[in-house]
C-alpha cells in the first residue's frame, strides 16, 4: 500500500514538473502568436487572446509597399544557401586533410583552430569593417557571406575532422591500393560516409543567417540589403512598443519554418555533435 | 623508394657520391633553387627560383610600404591614413611569414635531397617527381582555400584588433585627420589605474563571471534534472515531452529574446500586468533596476539554453547500460547513490567538452545582453550599462563611444581568458591524446 502511494506521489510530482515546464515553454510562444493576431499595432492594449482577431499584420508584411519583408526573406535565403554550401565544401576539404594526411603545420593547425573558434567574430568587428570597406564589399550580401564562411571554418572543421577520424582508414587505404586517386577517395568514400555530420554543418550554417543580427548590423547599411533578423530588429528597435504586433507576425513567420526543420533534424544534430566531440 | 633495378647502380656509385655535400646544397639554396639544381633536380630548382624571383618583384614595394607603415603608422596627417597603413603592415607580416616558411622549407629540402644523394639515392624521373609532388602537395591543396579565407576573415581581423590595443585610436584621435601612434601598454595600464575605467572594468568583469557561472550552471542543472525525470520508465509520451522541451532551442534566439523583453516590459509587459500586479499588488522594474534585469537575464538564458544540454543528456542517459543499475539494486544502493556513482559520472564524462563550450559561449553571449536591454539600465559613475558583460561593453565602446583602443585592449583580455580556460580543458579530451596515432 505504502509503496503504491509513494509511486503515485512520485509520478504526480514528475508530471507536475513537466506540466509546469510546458507552461513556461509555451507561454511566450503562444503570447507572441496571440499578439500577432491583434488588430492594433501597439503593445499597449494588445492582449494574448484578442477579442476580434485578424490577420492584418501578416497581410501588411506581404502587401504593404512600405514593408521590405519579402526582400529580407529573399536576402536571408540567398545568404543562408550560399553560406551553407560553401561552408560544407571548404570545411570538408580542410577536415579531410587534417584527418588523413601528415603535413607541415598539421598539429599546430589543430591547436590554432581550437583557439580561433573561441574568439567570437564580434571581437574583430572594427577590422572586418575596414577590410570590407577597402575591398568594396561593405553593404553587400557577398561580404556578409564571405565573413560567415570564414568564421564557420575553425569550429566546423574540428567537428568534421572528429567524424572523419571515426571512419576506418582501411577503407580509403584499400581504395588507394585499387588505384583510386586522392579526389576519388574523397568524393566516393569519405563524403558519402560523413553525410550525417555534413548535414549538421549544412544545417547550422543555413540557420545562422536567420538568427544572427549583429554581423549584418555591422556590414549591411541599406534596408534593401537587410536580412530578416536585422530588419525585424530595426523594426522593433525604432519604436519598441508601437510596432510590436507587426514584429510578432514577422517573427512567427520565421520561427515556424526554422523550428520545424530543426525539430525534424535534431536527432541527427545531437548524435553528430556528440560523435564529433567525444570520439573525435 | 629505390627500384630494384637501381640497386646495382647505387652500389657502384656509392663512393663517388660521397663528394656530394649536403651543407653545400643548403648554402647554395640561400638563393632558392640553386641548391636543388646542384642536387641535379633542374626542373624543381627552376620552379623554386622563379617563384622566389616573382615574389620579390611583385611584393617588394608592398612589403616595404607595409613595414614602414607598421613602424611609423604614417608621417603626414590627412594624407597617410594610419588605419590603412596598419592593415597593409599586417598583410605584409602575414605574407612575410608565408615566405619565411617557404624559404626554410626550401633550405631543408635541398639539404635532405643532398644527404640522400650522398647515401646513394638517385633523383627519380620527371614523371615520378610530378607524382610525388602531387601526393605530397595534395593536403596543402585541400587546406589552401579554407586557410586563405580563414586568414582574411578571422586571423587578419584578430591581429588588427591586437595591434589596435597598443595604439591611441579613439574619438579624439581618429584617422585620417590625426595620425595614430604606438603607446605600448598604456591602454592596459589605464584600464586598471584610471578610476572610471578601473571601476567599470572590475564591475563588468565580476558580473561577467557571475553571469557565466550562474546562468550556465543553472541551465545544466535544470537540463540534468529534466532529462532524468523524463527518462523514468514510468513516464508516458516521452517523445512528445522531449520534442516540447527542445522547442526553445528550435525557435531563433533573437526572436525569443525580443519577445521576452516585451514580456518583461515595466509598464506593458505581461509579467507585471497579468501576473505580479493582480497577484501581489505591485510590479517589478525588470528593465530599469539593474538587479532585477540581471535576474530576468539569467532566467531567460536558462529558458533558452537548457534544451541543448537536455538533448545531449537524454542521448547519454539512453546509452547507459541497465546492468549498472541492476548491480546497484542487488547491492541495495539508494536512489541518490545510484545517481551519484552511476548516472552523474557517465553523463559528465560523455559531455564535458560540450559543457565547457556552453560556459565559453555564455561568457561571450552578446545577443541576449544586447537584445534584452542593450546592456542597460545605465548606471551612474561608470561607462558601461548595469548588465553589460565584457563583450557587450566592447561593442558599446566601439560603436557608441568610439574608444577603439580600449575596446581592443578589453577584447584581448576576453580572448586570453576564454582561450586559456578552454585550451587547458580541451587538451584533456581524447581527440588530442590520440593525435599521435595518425
The sign one gets for the Cα dihedral B317, B321, B325, B326 is: positive
pLDDT of residue B103 exceeding 60, the answer is: yes
pLDDT at A257: 86
**Residue contact A123–B394, C-beta within 8 A:** yes
**Residue contact A123–B152, C-beta within 8 A:** no
pLDDT at B166: 92
Alpha carbon of B211: minimum distance to chain A alpha carbons (Å): 18
Number of Cβ within 10 Å of residue A86's Cβ equals 19
**Model confidence at B436, in pLDDT bands (50, 70, 90)?**
very low
CB pairs under 8 A between A and B: 261
Question: Looking at the complex, does the CB of residue A107 fall below 8 Å from at least one CB of chain B?
Answer: yes
**Residue contact A28–B143, C-beta within 8 A:** no
Kindly report the length of chain A. Answer: 280
Give A 177-216 residues with CB within 8 A of chain B. 182, 207, 210-214
Mean pLDDT (chain A, rounded): 84
Question: Looking at the complex, does the CB of residue B426 fall below 8 Å from at least one CB of chain A?
Answer: yes
Residues paired with residue B170 on neighbouring β-strands, in sequence order: B173
Whole-prediction pTM value? 0.82
**Residue contact B146–A214, C-beta within 8 A:** no
pLDDT of residue B426 exceeding 70, the answer is: no
Percent of chain B clearing pLDDT 70 (strictly above): 91
pLDDT at A165: 84
pLDDT at A135: 82
Fold assignment, B187-437: MetI-like fold (1.10.3720)
pLDDT of residue B304 exceeding 90, the answer is: yes
Residues paired with residue B173 on neighbouring β-strands, in sequence order: B170
Alpha carbon of B54: minimum distance to chain A alpha carbons (Å): 23
pLDDT at B202: 92
Segment among A164-178, B55-69, B346-360 with least mean pLDDT: B346-360
pLDDT of residue B435 exceeding 80, the answer is: no
pLDDT of residue A51 exceeding 70, the answer is: yes
pLDDT at A218: 86
**Model confidence at B6, in pLDDT bands (50, 70, 90)?**
very low
**Model confidence at A127, in pLDDT bands (50, 70, 90)?**
confident
Question: Looking at the complex, does the CB of residue A23 fall below 8 Å from at least one CB of chain B?
Answer: no
Residue range(s) of every CATH 1.10.3720.10 domain in chain B: 187-437
Percent of chain A clearing pLDDT 90 (strictly above): 20
**Residue contact A90–B146, C-beta within 8 A:** yes
On chain B, the residues whose CB falls within 8 A of the CB of A150 are: 149-150, 152-154
**Residue contact B234–A31, C-beta within 8 A:** no
pLDDT at A239: 64
pLDDT at A148: 92
Nearest-by-CA chain B residue for A161: B431
pLDDT at B428: 61
Read off the pLDDT of each residue in B370-399 and give the average, rounded to a whole number. 85
Give B 277-336 residues with CB within 8 A of chain A. 303, 311-312, 315-316
pLDDT at B206: 94
Please, which residues have CB within 8 angstroms of residue B192's CB and are 6 or more apart in sequence? B198, B201
Nearest-by-CA chain A residue for B147: A94
pLDDT at B422: 67
**Model confidence at A142, in pLDDT bands (50, 70, 90)?**
very high
Question: Looking at the complex, does the CB of residue A109 fall below 8 Å from at least one CB of chain B?
Answer: yes
Tell me the per-residue pLDDT of B105-132, one tens digit each, with 9 for 90 and over: 888 888 888 888 877 777 667 777 778 7
Question: Looking at the complex, does the CB of residue A165 fall below 8 Å from at least one CB of chain B?
Answer: yes
Question: Looking at the complex, does the CB of residue B154 fall below 8 Å from at least one CB of chain A?
Answer: yes
Per-domain residue ranges of chain A: 2-59, 68-238
Alpha carbon of B419: minimum distance to chain A alpha carbons (Å): 6
Instruction: Check residues A88 and B381 and name the one with the higher pLDDT.
Output: A88
Segment among A109-118, B206-215, B328-337 with least mean pLDDT: A109-118
On chain A, the residues whose CB falls within 8 A of the CB of B146 are: 90-91, 93-94, 153, 157
Calpha distance A110→B341 (Å, rounded): 35
ipTM: 0.84
pLDDT of residue A270 exceeding 80, the answer is: no
Q: Which CATH number fits domain A68-238: 2.60.40.420, 1.10.3720.10, 3.30.830.10, 3.10.20.30?
A: 1.10.3720.10
The sign one gets for the Cα dihedral A89, A93, A94, A96 is: positive
Amino acid at each position: 500500500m505504502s509503496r503504491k502511494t509513494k509511486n503515485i506521489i512520485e509520478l504526480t510530482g514528475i508530471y507536475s514538473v513537466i506540466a509546469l515546464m510546458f507552461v513556461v515553454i509555451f507561454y511566450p510562444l503562444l503570447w507572441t502568436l496571440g499578439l500577432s493576431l491583434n488588430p492594433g499595432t501597439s503593445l499597449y492594449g494588445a492582449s494574448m487572446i484578442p477579442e476580434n482577431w485578424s490577420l492584418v499584420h501578416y497581410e501588411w508584411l506581404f502587401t504593404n509597399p512600405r514593408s521590405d519583408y519579402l526582400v529580407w526573406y529573399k536576402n536571408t535565403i540567398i545568404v543562408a544557401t550560399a553560406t551553407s554550401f560553401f561552408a560544407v565544401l571548404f570545411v570538408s576539404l580542410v577536415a579531410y586533410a587534417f584527418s588523413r594526411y601528415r603535413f607541415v603545420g598539421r598539429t599546430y593547425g589543430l591547436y590554432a583552430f581550437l583557439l580561433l573558434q573561441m574568439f567570437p567574430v564580434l571581437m574583430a568587428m572594427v577590422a572586418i569593417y575596414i577590410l570590407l570597406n577597402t575591398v568594396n564589399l561593405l553593404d553587400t550580401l557577398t561580404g556578409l557571406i564571405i565573413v560567415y564562411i570564414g568564421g564557420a571554418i575553425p569550429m566546423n572543421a574540428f567537428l568534421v575532422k572528429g567524424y572523419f577520424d571515426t571512419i576506418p582508414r582501411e577503407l580509403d587505404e584499400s581504395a588507394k591500393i585499387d588505384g583510386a586517386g586522392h579526389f576519388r577517395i574523397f568524393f566516393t568514400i569519405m563524403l558519402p560516409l560523413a553525410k550525417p555530420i555534413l548535414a549538421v554543418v549544412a544545417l547550422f550554417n543555413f540557420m545562422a543567417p536567420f538568427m544572427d543580427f549583429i554581423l549584418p548590423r555591422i556590414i549591411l547599411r541599406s534596408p534593401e540589403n537587410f536580412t530578416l533578423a536585422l530588419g525585424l530588429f530595426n523594426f522593433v528597435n525604432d519604436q519598441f512598443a508601437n510596432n510590436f504586433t507587426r514584429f510578432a507576425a514577422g517573427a512567427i513567420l520565421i520561427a515556424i519554418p526554422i523550428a520545424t526543420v530543426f525539430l525534424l533534424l535534431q536527432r541527427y544534430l545531437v548524435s553528430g555533435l556528440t560523435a564529433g566531440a567525444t570520439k573525435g | 623508394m629505390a627500384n630494384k633495378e637501381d640497386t646495382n647502380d647505387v652500389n657502384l656509385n656509392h663512393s663517388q657520391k660521397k663528394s656530394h655535400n649536403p651543407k653545400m646544397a643548403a648554402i647554395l639554396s640561400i638563393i632558392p633553387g640553386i641548391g636543388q639544381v646542384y642536387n641535379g633536380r633542374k626542373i624543381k630548382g627552376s620552379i623554386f627560383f622563379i617563384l622566389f624571383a616573382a615574389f620579390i618583384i611583385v611584393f617588394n614595394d608592398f612589403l616595404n610600404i607595409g613595414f614602414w607603415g607598421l613602424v611609423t603608422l604614417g608621417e603626414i596627417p590627412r594624407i597617410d591614413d594610419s588605419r590603412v597603413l596598419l592593415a597593409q603592415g599586417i598583410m605584409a607580416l602575414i605574407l612575410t611569414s608565408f615566405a619565411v616558411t617557404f624559404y626554410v622549407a626550401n633550405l631543408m629540402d635541398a639539404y635532405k635531397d643532398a644527404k640522400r644523394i650522398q647515401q646513394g639515392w638517385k633523383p627519380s624521373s620527371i614523371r615520378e617527381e610530378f607524382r610525388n609532388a602531387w601526393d605530397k602537395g595534395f593536403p596543402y591543396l585541400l587546406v589552401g582555400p579554407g586557410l586563405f579565407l580563414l586568414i582574411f576573415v578571422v586571423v587578419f581581423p584578430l591581429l588588427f584588433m591586437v595591434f589596435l590595443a597598443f595604439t591611441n585610436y579613439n574619438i579624439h584621435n581618429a584617422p585620417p585627420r590625426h595620425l595614430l601612434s604606438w603607446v605600448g601598454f598604456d591602454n592596459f595600464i589605464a584600464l586598471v589605474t584610471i578610476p572610471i575605467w578601473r571601476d567599470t572594468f572590475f564591475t563588468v568583469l565580476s558580473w561577467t563571471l557571475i553571469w557565466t557561472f550562474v546562468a550556465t550552471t543553472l541551465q545544466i542543472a535544470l537540463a540534468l534534472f529534466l532529462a532524468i525525470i523524463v527518462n523514468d520508465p514510468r513516464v508516458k509520451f516521452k517523445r512528445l515531452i522531449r520534442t516540447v522541451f527542445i522547442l526553445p532551442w528550435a525557435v531563433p534566439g533573437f526572436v525569443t529574446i525580443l519577445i521576452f523583453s516585451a514580456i518583461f516590459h515595466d509598464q506593458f509587459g505581461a509579467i507585471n500586468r497579468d501576473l505580479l500586479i493582480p497577484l501581489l499588488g505591485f510590479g517589478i522594474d525588470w528593465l530599469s533596476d539593474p538587479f532585477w534585469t540581471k535576474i530576468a537575464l539569467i532566467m531567460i538564458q536558462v529558458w533558452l539554453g537548457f534544451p541543448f544540454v537536455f538533448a545531449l543528456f537524454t542521448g547519454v542517459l539512453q546509452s547507459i547500460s541497465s546492468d549498472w543499475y541492476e548491480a546497484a539494486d542487488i547491492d541495495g544502493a539508494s536512489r541518490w547513490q545510484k545517481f551519484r556513482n552511476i548516472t552523474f559520472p557517465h553523463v559528465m564524462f560523455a559531455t564535458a567538452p560540450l559543457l565547457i563550450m556552453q560556459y565559453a559561449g555564455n561568457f561571450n553571449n552578446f545577443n541576449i545582453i544586447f537584445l534584452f536591454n542593450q546592456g542597460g539600465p545605465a548606471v551612474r559613475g561608470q561607462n558601461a550599462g548595469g548588465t553589460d558583460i565584457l563583450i557587450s561593453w566592447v561593442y558599446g565602446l566601439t560603436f557608441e563611444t568610439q574608444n577603439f583602443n580600449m575596446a581592443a585592449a578589453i577584447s584581448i583580455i576576453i580572448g586570453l581568458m576564454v582561450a586559456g580556460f578552454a585550451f587547458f580543458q580541451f587538451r584533456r579530451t581524447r581527440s588530442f591524446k590520440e593525435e599521435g596515432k595518425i
